[in-house]
Amino acid sequence: MPRIQVNADVQAAGGFPLWADGVYTLRVTEAEQTTASTGKAQLRVRLEPVGEVNDENGRPLATAGTLLDFVTIDPIQTKLGGTVSFLRGLWEAAGLPWGSDIDTDDIVGKEVQAKVAVEKFTKKDGTETERNRVKRYIKPI
C-alpha cells in the first residue's frame, strides 16, 4: 500500500485552530445588528487578527481565521449599565466617541486591542468543545 507524508499539525477542514490566550490587535471587518436566539437585539462583530497569531503551543498559525463576537443589546440591561458596557468597551477601544446613538458602520475597519481566551462550551447537539472568545476590549491610553 502506498504511503504519503503529511503535516500532522494541519487542522481538519471546516475549522480554525485555537489561538493562544493573550492580548491581540484585531480589525473589525463586519458589524451588524441581528436578533439573538433569545429574541433580543445583538451586535454581531467579525474580527480578524492584525499580525501574527500563535496556537496554544506557541507555534505561529499560517491561517488564524476570524473571531465572531456577539454583544447582546438588552434595553433593560442597557438602562442598568449591563451588557451595553461591553459594547461601550468595543467603541472606546476603537477610539470612537460613545453616545446614546451609535452607527455600526463607524466601527468597521477600526483596529482594537482585545483580551482573547479559550473557553469551553456545549454545542446545541450536547457535545463539549472549545472556542476563542473576546473577554474584554482594551481602551487605548
pLDDT given for residue 1 in this prediction: 60
Nearest by Cα to 33 from 95, 108, 93, 96: 108
Spatial contact of 27 and 110, defined as CB atoms under 8 Å apart? yes
Flag whether 7 is in a domain: no
Handedness of CA 13, 23, 140, 50 (dihedral sign): negative
Structural domain boundaries enclosing 42:
25-112
> What does the pLDDT read at residue 108?
97
pLDDT block averages, 10 residues each, the chain of length 141: 63 69 96 88 93 90 90 61 75 89 92 95 89 92 79
For residue 12, is it within any domain? no
DSSP three-state, residue 60: strand
Number of domains in the chain: 1
Is 89 inside a domain boundary? yes
pLDDT of residue 13: 46
| pTM (predicted TM-score) | 0.80
